[in-house]
Structure 1
């Protein structure tokens, strides 16, 4: 299912390992920032390669992936996506250690990766190492080509291997369909090996440069695998740090030999007329002020003189506490008015009618018709975390009838580490302002360090300042 990026990604300034085109290269060593145990051996530095490996002990530029375990070199690695990759001219590898002892995280990010012998982007991938627990998480921020078996893992190794290649944990080996945008795989050590959960909660973390590249643009319409009329209006949401956009349209799944490339746009829509009964692919690319680009997924659609009436399933990742406007979508139907109806409620969190961009009446019973003319509702992630905890069903109706129910899947993860904004010193305390609201900051003093003129201080608690909301 196509993946929608929420508005709650926490950005951190990354340390750049390499920027721009690179093939079959390795780099290291770089500091982890804390002691990390991998298959019983403690490490404090790591290496990376352009072929999608994070390594300990030494580096390797091996491009031919093998299954796990395998005693041939390389060994001692984390493989979020080991394939014959290249860094695209618009891509980079960066890392950053965030948080404070004893709960730090090392984030390693492969941005705008591509494949040897093809021009289409693979996307952006992260590896996160956790201090103390020695957990490892692989997560896939953006996998661009939804029609490519290779981009979904058909020629890739995903897993962990120990220092001599006699042991390891294999998630996937040359298996199409295993990798997709929004997937997170959490490895937990125990008994000399690891167990893994490949339905783990995605962490909304993104590493950026001093001038951040544009965020991933979320497409709106025409939806992936939809059937639409010949006159198509392409719609997308604003991306962070974007100053302009352009639309690529092709009849090839990898967008090669484009049928049409729009001029640079400052709007969030674009119109084009197509022939009927044809298949097409499209993507929108966001540019920042310096021209650095980020691509949306590649979506397919077919044209028809009489497209069917369907509600469109969607998926989004949010942080706990987020308030998010959700656009319910449909394809086809007649030219008359449409009605969107919420037919089931989320298990966690609260769903509201949209009242001009703020929560209106709560949707507390079903079925309930959506009152917003653009079929927007608002979800508040006030409940517990988990994949699918905020999901709800909906359908559309018009003069031709009622569509089948579809699901808006909402995955809710724990809030990211708050970013420091400013501080002021008092006699026995420090007032700190962060970029995130905290209704209950209990225990958050473990997530940051406090120094007074370079001397470390021991913080014992964290509370809201009296009078704060």
Structure 2
């Protein structure tokens, strides 16, 4: 009788342990959704993770032997631009180049450095520049100690781009520490975005980190996690899917470039007036008419 009682208790403990392992991410109050899904955002993007039925399967893609190593990453800096190799549909526009940021993100629009700081710096989306981001693991990371920290990208120049961050350390007050491995994948065929997370060792400065996507304006996006224990990310995957159609309207008119006459340098005194040739472009998806 005592043996049966101990066996029942043991089975219950094992069941509780397994249940805790399966729900460690879903039960964390700093995850956007306890169900392993999120969205849609205002445009229509949704996300689903590998803990959810019908979600992506974690399957790391090693590009260290076929990809291009990205050099020049240090601390709080950007490197690029690099070509995606094809036009990738993202929100209501297409992107074909990207910058890699040392703090665990890529930016499609410009080379402003992504430096998440403070309570609001890890919120996605955010109007704070830079925008137009994919952030698989936004944190105070650093490449300043060099190897084993590496970053690679690979494009087949048809329909797939992969960017991998390998064994990147976290910046801490006592010096760089830990190692964090993760990657993002763009697939043109379905316009989807994948995040994958490998080995995670150590914590982040202030326990602060985030993951998600945002558009070029910084007013639409999805946040998957905020300030979680990185151990919850091991062997984890997230899939972002765009909508089949959208009712979202973006009126986004801006200056693409401005040049002087003859495209040459000009000297003039304060108070002088000078006419520039300016190219205005509609970055949105709403017809704004003629700019002439």
Q: TM-score range by the shorter chain?
A: 0.5 to 0.7
Say if 1:13 and 1:72 are closer, same or farther in 2 by CA, change over 3 A: same
Corresponding residue to 2:127 among 55, 67, 71: 71
Corresponding residue to 2:223 among 170, 178, 181: 170
Q: Which residue of 2 aligns with 1:50?
A: 102
Distance across 2 between alignment mates of 1:8 and 1:125: 10
Distance across 2 between alignment mates of 1:57 and 1:27: 13
RMSD between superposed Cα atoms in Å = 2.9
Q: Which residue of 2 aligns with 1:108?
A: 163
Give the match's secondary structure for 2:228: coil
Q: Which residue of 1 aligns with 2:77?
A: 25
Q: Which residue of 1 aligns with 2:209?
A: 156
Q: Which residue of 1 aligns with 2:46?
A: none
Give the match's secondary structure for 1:57: coil
Q: Deviations over 1:323-367 (max 9, x none)?
A: xxxxxxxxxxxxxxxxxxxxxxxxxxxxxxxxxxxxxxxxxxxxx
Corresponding residue to 1:138 among 182, 188, 195: 195
What is the correspondence of 1:18-417 to structure 2 with a 5 Å cutoff?
A: 18=71, 22-63=74-115, 64=117, 65-87=121-143, 88-90=145-147, 91-98=149-156, 101=158, 104-117=159-172, 118-145=175-202, 148=203, 150=204, 154-176=207-229, 179-190=232-243, 191-192=245-246
Measure how far apart 1:154 and its partner are.
3.8
Task: Write 1 or 2 for the structure with the bigger share of helix.
Answer: 2
TM-score when scaled to structure 1? 0.36
**Structure 1: which 5+ runs fail to align?**
194-469
Q: Deviations over 1:402-438 (max 9, x none)?
A: xxxxxxxxxxxxxxxxxxxxxxxxxxxxxxxxxxxxx
Q: Which residue of 1 aligns with 2:259?
A: none
Distance across 1 between alignment mates of 2:59 and 2:242: 30
Measure how far apart 1:59 and its partner are.
2.2
Give the match's secondary structure for 2:233: coil
Measure how far apart 1:9 and its partner are.
5.9
Say if 1:109 and 1:177 are closer, same or farther in 2 by CA, change over 3 A: closer
Say if 1:6 and 1:162 are closer, same or farther in 2 by CA, change over 3 A: closer
Measure how far apart 1:86 and its partner are.
0.3
Greater radius of gyration (CA): 1
Measure how far apart 1:11 and its partner are.
6.0
Measure how far apart 1:179 and its partner are.
4.1
Distance across 2 between alignment mates of 1:122 and 1:7: 17
Measure how far apart 1:8 and its partner are.
9.4
Say if 1:6 and 1:175 are closer, same or farther in 2 by CA, change over 3 A: closer
Say if 1:41 and 1:179 are closer, same or farther in 2 by CA, change over 3 A: farther
TM-score when scaled to structure 2? 0.56
Measure how far apart 1:176 and its partner are.
3.1
Do the aligned residues in 2 keep the contact of 1:51 with 1:84 (CA within 8 Å)?
A: yes
Relative CO higher for 1 or 2, CA cutoff 8 Å, sep ≥ 6? 2
Q: Deviations over 1:135-186 (max 9, x none)?
A: 00011122123xx4x39x9411200011111110111122335742210111
Task: Write 1 or 2 for the structure with the bigger share of strand.
Answer: 1
Do the aligned residues in 1 keep the contact of 2:110 with 2:130 (CA within 8 Å)?
A: no
**Structure 2: which 5+ runs fail to align?**
1-20, 22-57, 248-292
